[in-house]
């Protein structure tokens, strides 16, 4: 076995040289085993932050993270397993729609998701707003669910990619989270360890996204696609806008209700459009159709004939939730107080800052400022008016959904914050572009 010194490898990276597969594996294994201390891994993270990584290095780092723990084998599940990942945003309800929708097309979907932190929501928190829903599933339960009904959505198992969990926690307190290669390796290590054969990525950019800049989003998407290619997994990325919240709902139970409406064919047009685009790519990568547009056509039919909503019901019931919510959304948690936020002027809406809306929803209890903060499943905001809409003074822009213990002072403050997230002008700027770009493995 080759023996290295962490000091030498940190120095090598600091000086701008590439680390080998063996060197990165040594560092990650040593960190997980407690041989390499936090302060040295912090120095490595900072060196990577400033010096970057080559595509090959990022692949080696991803592989080392995967090798640090267990992987999930989905070989017992028939068909091509396709996964989807979103880099997160405000009102991003796509997983709740896509998982049952694509599964209804006969394509097995095993989705390992996370919890929300800050102004972006978490899929597990949303699903747990359904009474009784269980997100803690073992690998055997995941495989059984996929065999029986074709779909499962659960939390990441404890032994999956432990190096990423540890390294991310370190990056979080050393100002090195926003490093493109470290983000790419973190995301792709979890996706590849979870066993999918093909992967569709939804890389958000704009006000409500982690990456605000289009060029940065493209760089991240391209690197993740390259890592997927290097790992032998077909990978496609869409760059999508998060300048304003996706759909109308921001909040856990509110987004579950919106997902149900979307699978009924009654959801917001932007959420439906994005889900059909992502889903069409998933159906295409599964080999069921010859192009993504044909995949979209199949998914549209599954919404119109009720098969997609039925599959959501099966998913909920299989994971011990109250399946009645798909027929009666009043069974979901409801906020005690609803406050209409009124437009202060006439005109067309030209801006709706997604991050400000996400932060306002977090303040209501829909999100977490810290990892141990409690969630109010009923809290949130619904956007009644969005970019391109015409409003008159006094029209309702948004509705605040607050708990009975939410103070009048906080609600008043959030009304002002929501109003300030909007911009108005006399001329109509039109609806914003939702799909900003696409990156395939052939794009170079």
Distances (CA, A) of 373 to 124, 158, 204, 367: 15, 21, 25, 8
pLDDT at 156: 79
Q: pLDDT, tens digit, for every residue of 238-271? A: 999 999 999 999 999 999 999 999 999 999 999 9
pLDDT at 118: 61
* Mean model confidence pLDDT for the chain: 93
pLDDT at 374: 84
Is 86 a residue whose pLDDT tops 60? Answer: yes
Domain 82-328: give its CATH architecture.
3-Layer(aba) Sandwich (3.40)
pLDDT at 210: 85
> Is 190 considered catalytic here?
yes
Contact 260, 313 (CB under 8 A): no
> Is 356 considered catalytic here?
no
pLDDT at 169: 85
Residues 84-97, mean pLDDT to the nearest whole number: 92
CATH of domain 334-425: 3.90.1170.30
> Is 171 considered catalytic here?
yes
Residue owning tokens 């694509």: 102
Is 112 a residue whose pLDDT tops 90? Answer: no
Is 372 a residue whose pLDDT tops 80? Answer: no
Q: pLDDT, tens digit, for every residue of 199-244? A: 999 999 998 888 899 999 999 999 999 999 999 999 999 999 999 9
Distances (CA, A) of 423 to 10, 144, 155, 159, 426: 48, 50, 38, 47, 11
Among 397, 389, 393, 422, smallest CA distance to 269 is for 389
Q: Whole-angstrom Cα distance, residue 106 to residue 94?
A: 18
> Under DSSP, is residue 152 helix (H, G, I), strand (E, B) or coil?
strand
Is 444 a residue whose pLDDT tops 60? Answer: no
pLDDT at 117: 63
Per annotation, catalytic residue among 85, 191, 353, 386: 85
Per annotation, catalytic residue among 42, 186, 207, 343: 186
Q: How far is CA 57 from the centre of its chain?
A: 25
pLDDT at 177: 85
pLDDT at 138: 87
* CATH entry 1.20.970.10 includes domain 6-67: yes
Q: What proportion of the chain, given as a percentage, has pLDDT over 90?
A: 77
Q: pLDDT, tens digit, for every residue of 122-155? A: 899 999 999 999 999 988 898 899 889 999 999 8
> Is 164 considered catalytic here?
yes
Residues 395-415, mean pLDDT to the nearest whole number: 95
Residues 66-83, mean pLDDT to the nearest whole number: 84
Domains 6-67 and 82-328 share a fold: no
Per annotation, catalytic residue among 111, 171, 222, 288: 171
**What are the domain boundaries of the chain?**
6-67, 82-328, 334-425
Residues 54-76, mean pLDDT to the nearest whole number: 91
């Amino acid at each position: 076995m080759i023996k290295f010194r962490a000091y030498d490898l940190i120095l090598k990276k600091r000086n701008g040289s590439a680390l080998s597969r063996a060197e990165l594996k040594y560092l990650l294994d040593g960190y997980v085993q407690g041989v390499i201390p936090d302060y040295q891994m912090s120095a490595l993270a900072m060196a990577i932050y400033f010096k970057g990584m080559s595509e090959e290095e990022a692949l080696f780092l991803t592989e080392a993270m995967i090798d640090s723990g267990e992987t999930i084998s989905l070989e017992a599940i028939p068909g091509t397993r396709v996964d989807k990942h979103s880099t997160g945003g405000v009102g991003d309800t796509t997983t709740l729609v896509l998982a049952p929708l694509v599964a209804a097309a006969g394509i097995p979907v095993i989705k390992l998701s996370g919890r929300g932190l800050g102004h972006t929501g978490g899929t597990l928190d949303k699903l747990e707003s359904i009474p009784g829903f269980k997100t803690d599933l073992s690998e055997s339960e995941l495989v059984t669910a996929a065999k029986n009904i074709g779909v499962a959505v659960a939390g990441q198992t404890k032994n999956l990619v432990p190096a990423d969990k540890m390294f991310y926690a370190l990056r979080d307190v050393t100002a090195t989270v926003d490093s493109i290669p470290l983000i790419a390796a973190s995301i792709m290590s979890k996706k590849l360890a979870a066993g999918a054969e093909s992967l569709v990525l939804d890389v958000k950019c704009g006000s409500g996204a982690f990456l605000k800049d289009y060029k940065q989003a493209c760089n991240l998407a391209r690197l993740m696609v390259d890592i997927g290619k290097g790992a032998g997994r077909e990978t496609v990325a869409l760059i999508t806008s998060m300048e304003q919240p996706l759909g109308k709902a921001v909040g856990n139970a509110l987004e579950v209700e919106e997902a149900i409406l979307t699978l009924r064919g009654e959801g917001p047009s932007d959420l439906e459009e994005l889900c059909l685009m992502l889903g069409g790519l998933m159906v295409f990568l599964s080999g069921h159709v010859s192009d993504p547009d044909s995949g979209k056509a199949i998914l549209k039919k599954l919404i119109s004939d009720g098969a997609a909503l039925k599959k959501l019901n099966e998913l909920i019931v299989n994971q011990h939730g109250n399946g009645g919510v798909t027929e009666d959304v009043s069974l979901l948690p409801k906020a005690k107080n609803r406050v209409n936020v009124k437009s202060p002027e006439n005109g067309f809406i030209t801006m709706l800052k997604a991050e400000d809306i996400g932060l306002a929803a977090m303040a209501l209890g829909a999100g977490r400022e810290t990892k141990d903060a409690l969630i109010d499943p009923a809290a949130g905001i619904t956007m009644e008016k969005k970019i391109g809409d015409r409003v008159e003074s006094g029209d309702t822009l948004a509705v605040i959904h607050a708990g009975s213990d939410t103070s009048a002072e906080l609600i008043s403050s959030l009304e002002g914050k929501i109003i300030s997230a909007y911009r108005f002008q006399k001329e109509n700027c039109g609806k914003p572009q939702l799909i900003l770009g696409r990156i395939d493995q052939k794009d170079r």
